[in-house]
Amino acid sequence: MGLFYIRGDEERAKEGPDVASITSDKDIEVVGTLARITRVNAAKGDSFILLVVGIRRIKVVRQVESQGPMMRVQIEEIKPKKSGNDQVIKAYSLEALNCLKEFTQYNSLNREQFQV
């Protein structure tokens, strides 16, 4: 599943996303995230809460079709750029993971949500 921010002004963003207002690829940002749905929970009314895991960054090439709130677009992967700071990034990532592991020890609900 591709996830993209909806384009719009600040006031519209405060009101929450209006999916019905999306009619073309011009209504969404060009760069988004390819994600995998890991959990779906029912919310109030006809709403759902999705827990997703980002896989990689993607870019919209062109719109293919649009049916109601669903839109099909052709995408391409944005290749990650290698930087000289790879060791620093790895160290920060490991430290963040260690903090999450420590955090989950205090509450079993947190442990289940993070599945660390």
Q: Tell me the CATH number at 69.
A: 2.30.130.40
Full domain range(s) for residue 88: 81-116
Tens of pLDDT along the chain (116 residues) come to 898 888 875 665 566 666 677 788 888 899 999 999 999 988 888 888 889 999 999 999 999 988 876 788 999 999 987 777 778 888 999 999 888 788 777 766 666 666 54
Q: What is the model's pTM?
A: 0.61
- C-alpha–C-alpha distance, residues 94 and 91, integer Å: 5
Residue with tokens 């790895």: 90
Mark whether 71 and 22 lie in a shared domain. yes
Mark whether 26 and 12 lie in a shared domain. yes
Report the number of distinct structural domains present in the chain.
2
Mark whether 3 and 58 lie in a shared domain. yes
Mark whether 32 and 88 lie in a shared domain. no
- C-alpha–C-alpha distance, residues 74 and 2, integer Å: 10
Please check whether residue 78 is in contact with residue 57, taking contact to mean a CB–CB distance below 8 angstroms. Answer: yes
